[in-house]
Structure 1
Amino acid sequence: MRDRNGAYFQLNTSSLRQASVVGGLSLSSNLICHAALQAEMQPWIEMECFQLSQGKRLGQLDSIDLGNQRIVRETQEATVHKVGATPANLCTLSYCSLDPACRFSEHDAGNAGTIFFMSEQTEFDIYVPAGAQTTYISLDQDEFLSAARVLNPAEWENAPSGVTMLYSRQKALFQDAVEMWFKVAAMPGNAMHADVMRRLLFQTMLQIATTTTQDNASNLPAAARLRALRICRDARTFAENLLETEDLPTIVELCAAVGVSERTLQYAFRTYAGMSPLVYLRKLRLNRVRTALMQASPSEMTVTAAAMRYGFLHLSRFAQDYKRVFDETPSVTLAS
């Protein structure tokens, strides 16, 4: 359905999406009601999302698509955990709200001047608490690095790989630029062409990135955060592999598989996700059930079958936990 400004609105049971095409660029705004949708709304990056705190609605995702550049702003109403990897020749510059619980791979939110550079083909692991906001710009990496080396060869001749925490005195410019682009993109009848916006956005990101320095300031030593990340990533992979075979991992098995003590595993998960490994794994299984229920119809699956598939044998407790996290009963999810 179109309104008088040419915007169209699409309603379904999982999300509310508003999108429009203005001056050759694509602007969209989405209410996120399921973690899997948060990943699907960003198909240019391989990603999986899990909901970790209570809420029927996870938040909102706003994006501007400029072809080989994208601006993405995510506002969380429920805590999410995002894992994935960037494709070849795509890098990002990003920042997040100053929430001490925010984690970008082994880095925390840093300070008022912190931004993050993530290179192509980088595995990432991001924890975003409820109430936080993250924003990133995706760019053509070859184009970006070529220009950055001209402007600041000392810092960018050997470009950083993976996720790198940078400090910029121009972070405020980054934030102001993002707000400006969304306002411009939302203006009906705007005559600015997408290629003009692309050039301006590219130059702004270059200016910000080439006036940064590496900053390892953190409330926790970087080596300790990196070790926690590796421990929990290995534990999560081991647990997911068992779940695929409809087996349930125990803490003993996790410790044996990763090669750490229970105390180390507990400490790592507190750093990694702000909760114990048992709580995290239970919420991981709840997310798996919700995905299965949303993808099936009542004629294909029952709530009991989905719950038991992922190890929830105490069905009344499962239903209570499910409603506590997702703000709806599993039967409602299946019927949607």
Structure 2
Amino acid sequence: MKKSNVSHFRDIHVHAANIQEWNQDYNQLTAGLAESSLMQLTTARCHVFREQINQRVVQHGVAPRDKMCFAVPITVPGSTRMQGREVDDSSLFFLQGGEEFMFHMPMGMELLSITFEREWFEQALAQTPSAKEISQLLRQPVIRVSSQRFAHARRQLLAVFSQALAHEELDSAGDPALEQAMLGELLQLMTDPACDKHQRIASSTRSFIVEKCHRLTTAQVLNVPSVDELCQRLHVSRRTVQNSFRSVAETTPLNYLRSVRLNGVRRTLMSTPASHLSIGDAAAQWGFYHLSHFAAEYQELFAELPSHTARAAIPGCAHA
């Protein structure tokens, strides 16, 4: 039976927790109240969601296991990186089920994500004349195609999705048609003559630096390394680190890494009752030991004081 819903949120962590099947953290990097929309639809062999967020966000998680995961950018209004690759509005994203990923999403970006059951996808792929070439393309997370062909595919996919949402009261009889339409459009996109079947887009050094700093900071939240210490560990200059963060995340390393930790506090607060964990203890878990400074930084990023953050548990949102 097909299931669908349309939701609007004022918190990216609630937004992330409501995306079915995905296990990921969203970290808000730009200051202000988050506003987002999420439309999703689930059938027997396919899960599709369309999302838009007004703030810059870095997503980090693991793709659903036993799935084949695609994403089509609808708008790309700023610097965007998928698995360290720079992308534009003619880039198809792909993740294997169970693969860890990091995605830098600029302010206002809109994205259509399509996830298929792996077994069904591979059976369908095996029946296509270009199965070998497509399998080769799917060894990488970013696939570039012609802008004209990509624009056509995007329109078709959005039309199929919108039509399915509009007829959500129908039974599952239309599910196979929707699944085949989504799959067929993506396969046509990858078999298009203008799509280089041997393309290889390398991860950039700047993206590697940002992601390494992100991981080192979240791995040592009780003893947070300074930017200078991160430079020493990575054997790069401070200027190189500064330029990397500016290029990839459109902010400074200090602001980025502090924002990621503030998001960690927010997830912790939202997933624990106030009676079980104080705000001060939650902040200390993420390396914030001066409560007044922490509260001011938290309010600046999320447009609310930590004492106003809802402490009710979020389904599917575990401790960071």
Matches within 5 A, 1:9-48: 24-48=1-25
Aligned residue among 218, 222, 244 for 1:240: 218
- The 8 Å contact of residues 144 and 195 in structure 2, kept in 1 or not, is answered as yes
Structure 1: which amino acid aligns with 2:266? Answer: R
Matched, 1:175 2:152: no
Shift of 1:327: 1.7
SS at match of 2:32: coil
Shift of 1:145: 4.5
Matches within 5 A, 1:30-179: 30-96=7-73, 97-111=75-89, 113-148=90-125, 150-153=128-131, 155-156=133-134, 158-168=136-146, 169-179=149-159
Aligned residue among 158, 172, 183 for 1:202: 183
SS at match of 2:223: coil
Aligned residue among 238, 241, 244 for 1:265: 241
SS at match of 1:100: coil
Aligned partners of 2:137 and 2:102: how far apart in 1? 21
Aligned partners of 1:189 and 1:91: how far apart in 2? 27
Residues 255-287 of structure 1, C-alpha deviations (whole Å, 9 max, x = no match): 233232222222222223221211111101111
Aligned partners of 2:135 and 2:280: how far apart in 1? 57
Shift of 1:198: 2.1
Aligned residue among 213, 219, 233 for 2:195: 213
Structure 2 gap segments, 5+ residues each: 313-320
SS at match of 1:28: strand
Aligned residue among 299, 302, 306 for 1:326: 302
Shift of 1:317: 3.2
Residues 85-142 of structure 1, C-alpha deviations (whole Å, 9 max, x = no match): 324442222222132322222233324x332333344332111122111111112344
Aligned partners of 2:269 and 2:135: how far apart in 1? 50
The equivalent residue for 2:315 is none
Number of residue pairs the alignment of both structures matches: 306
Taking a change above 3 Å as real, the CA distance of residues 68 and 282 of structure 1, as seen in their structure-2 partners, is same
The equivalent residue for 1:185 is 165
Shift of 1:52: 1.1
More displaced, 182-191 or 90-99?
Answer: 182-191
More displaced, 257-266 or 76-85?
Answer: 257-266
Shift of 1:28: 1.6
Aligned partners of 2:130 and 2:143: how far apart in 1? 17
SS at match of 1:213: coil
Aligned CA-pair RMSD: 2.8
TM-score (norm 1): 0.80
More displaced, 195-204 or 283-292?
Answer: 195-204
SS at match of 2:230: helix
TM-score (norm 2): 0.83
More displaced, 312-321 or 51-60?
Answer: 312-321
The equivalent residue for 1:15 is none
Shift of 1:32: 3.0
Aligned partners of 2:214 and 2:26: how far apart in 1? 13
Aligned partners of 1:297 and 1:120: how far apart in 2? 33
* Identical-pair percentage: 23
